[in-house]
A = this chain, B = another copy of it.
Amino acid sequence: MDFTIPFETQRMIQVIRDFLRQEVYPLERDFLSTPFRDLLPVLTEKRTRVKTLGLWAPQIPQEYGGQGLSLLEFASIGEELGRTPLGHYLFNCQAPDAGNMELLIQHGTKTQKEAYLMPLIHGQIRSCFSMTEPGYPGSNPAWMSTSAVKDGNDYVINGDKWFSTGADGAAFSIVMAITDPEASNPYRKASMIIVPTSTPGFRHLRNTSVMGDTGSDHASHGEVQFNNCRVPIGNLLGEQGAGFVLAQDRLGPGRIHHCVRWLGICERAFELMCTWASNRLVGPDKLLGSQQIIQTWIAESRAEIDSARLLVLRTAWKIDNLDASAARDDISLIKFSVAAVLQRVIDRAIQTHGGMGMTDNLPLAYWYRHERAARIYDGPDEVHKIAVARHILREYKA
């Protein structure tokens, strides 16, 4: 197991680091106080800079116009990008678009790739992913009510979805819908279908207010409705009934992407905490960082972040060198354990800052709010724990 970062990737990290600190960190205050949509002009400008720097879409194979990094290589890049809430968006590797690109690369037809994938990779459009339903638990992905019924050469889709991240302004959605309600295998009932948002019957109802924030554009969670929404059969992604399998495919590396992003957040929060502790006076000649309690938080955070990173790298290495199914349990392990580290590190960083940590002068409060979802999305931690334990226990049955 070799985690060495190739020289070329190291150089790329350095360029990214400098770019983020000089050109993106200064935008954070605006990001924290302005609707995302209002930032689009400046963000577009920065995206052009990223392209110019030859860093665009680092996770995408070179034949599609990306940088073609392995998962292990991307782990380091993704962590760097995670240090600012704007990082992934600026490099075009933000959820849910990155996951949609991956789906289309692996399962899209030539037509689908031309119509949906390439504009997405070029950053000309955005997309969303419509899986979660308000009336059904996200923890049970095989149970949903949205249906897609074949009618002639079309699918007719009906149902309600929410947490369709970025639906506001998206050009298309990849929708999970029941196409084979009678399938004996519950994991073969659903399919994924591409639905342009301009299709009659598709309606973006609203952005759900989440943690006090309704959001806009990419930075939003949409509620969408499918009302006799009719799309050609050619919009089916992969095989009919393969929706669950594709979702698993999508979520596996997607969880790595989340985890490395969380590590980036941890590192930034750690940096903010240490900088504050090393310079803030708590008395005329006493630094905050001289307090044992603060020191304890710093040491524990360092150990936890470093451990978490190694576990993520091991998982990325396994996926790169074996395959995603060999790393199934590892993916569950990093999902819940990195999310836990994330929450603890952010919490300590806020507590270290006192009142300042509550404010939007720093990105800490933003992450505290919105990354609370890390323990919920892509399968609540508890579901991952149970799944991995069941696999393990099987091996010990006498």
A residues at B contact (CB < 8 Å): 1-4, 32-33, 132, 134, 137-140, 143, 162-163, 208-214, 271, 274-275, 277-284, 288-289, 291-296, 298-300, 302-304, 306-308, 310-311, 313-314, 329, 332-334, 336-337, 350-351, 354-361, 365-366, 368-369, 372-373, 375-377, 380-382, 384-386, 388-390, 392-398
Contacts and interface: CB of A to CB of B under 8 A. Distances in A.
Contacts of A380: 351, 354
A280 B310 CA distance: 34
A390 B299 CA distance: 9
Contact of A393 (B209, B289, B397, B398): B289
A211 B310 contact: no
B299 A306 contact: no
A170 to B, nearest CB: 19
B295 A306 contact: no
A39 to B, nearest CB: 15
Given A137-B288, A295-B390, A211 B283 contact: no
A333 B393 contact: no
A278 B398 contact: yes
Q: How many copies does the complex hold?
A: 4
Given A296-B385, A373-B358, A392-B302, A280 B137 contact: yes
Contacts of A283: 137, 140, 143
Q: Which among A163, A299, A393, A397 has the highest number of chain B CB atoms within 10 Å?
A: A299
Contacts of A306: 311, 314, 333
A85 B211 CA distance: 15
Given A138-B354, A209-B33, A209-B359, A393 B304 contact: no
25 contacts: A1-B2, A32-B212, A134-B356, A137-B282, A140-B282, A209-B359, A210-B358, A211-B358, A274-B393, A275-B396, A289-B389, A289-B396, A291-B382, A292-B386, A293-B293, A293-B382, A295-B385, A295-B389, A295-B393, A298-B392, A299-B385, A299-B388, A306-B311, A351-B375, A368-B372
Contacts of A304: 337
A286 to B, nearest CB: 9
Contacts of A288: 137
Given A2-B4, A138-B354, A306-B333, 8 more contacts: A33-B209, A209-B360, A210-B358, A211-B368, A278-B398, A292-B386, A299-B389, A302-B392
